Amino acid sequence: MSGTRLNKYIASSGLCSRRKADELIESGVVSVNGKKVTELGYLVQEKDKVFVEKKLIHPAKHEYYRFYKPAGYITTSDDEKGRKTIYDLLPEKLYGLKPVGRLDKDSTGLLILTNDGDLINDLTHPSVKVPKIYLVSIDGRIHPHQVEQMASGIEIEKGKIAYADVVVLESDNKHTMMQITLYQGLNRQIRKMFEYLGFEVKSLKRIQHATISLDGLKRGEFKPIKPQQIKELRNFLNRIATK
């Protein structure tokens, strides 16, 4: 029998990833044509109506954008403290898109925005080591043994070991500029690693996430990601997922 698996149908609406969709199905909040469905392999047919928590959902056309986040904005759609969010800078047509990962308020650079729940999951799932590249400036000179320490791991919180690949670009007694590659998604990971080493981060900018780069964007600017770039991104994710 042909059809679309229920978890994929839910994910294609942009509501969540397939893994989260499985959790929703198992929890009993999903119904098809008015009947509760808890079977993970259920196939949705073309004329079926799918509800999640009694709300009708529809598969969305997937959209993909690059956005250059400036400093001073948090990466969320709403903030109870009233702080400025990235959506204050974006047009209403992009409000339904979610950022892939986060950048803290003081950090700048690349955010991928999409309503493709599967892609968000593939780019952020801890089991897949997706590279994220940053330009980072600190006060003072970093020493080779500290670079090695970052590569071998630093405990930034109890039980949480952070790793980073560091290439020093410029260094003197007053500052060091580095290119840093992360394969984890720990909260404020770079800042906490340097805090442990006794340095203050002066600037932090993400310049690449997997195969998508910041090239050609100005601060606060957004541009659609081309279909060929999405194809290359998916191929890259498939390759590293099998390693």
Give catalytic residue positions. Answer: 104
Round to whole Å and give the CA distance between 202 and 175. Answer: 9
Contact yes or no for 218/66 (Cβ under 8 A): no
β-bridge mates for residue 136, sequence order:
178, 204
Round to whole Å and give the CA distance between 176 and 137. Answer: 6
Q: How many residues does this entry show for the chain?
A: 243
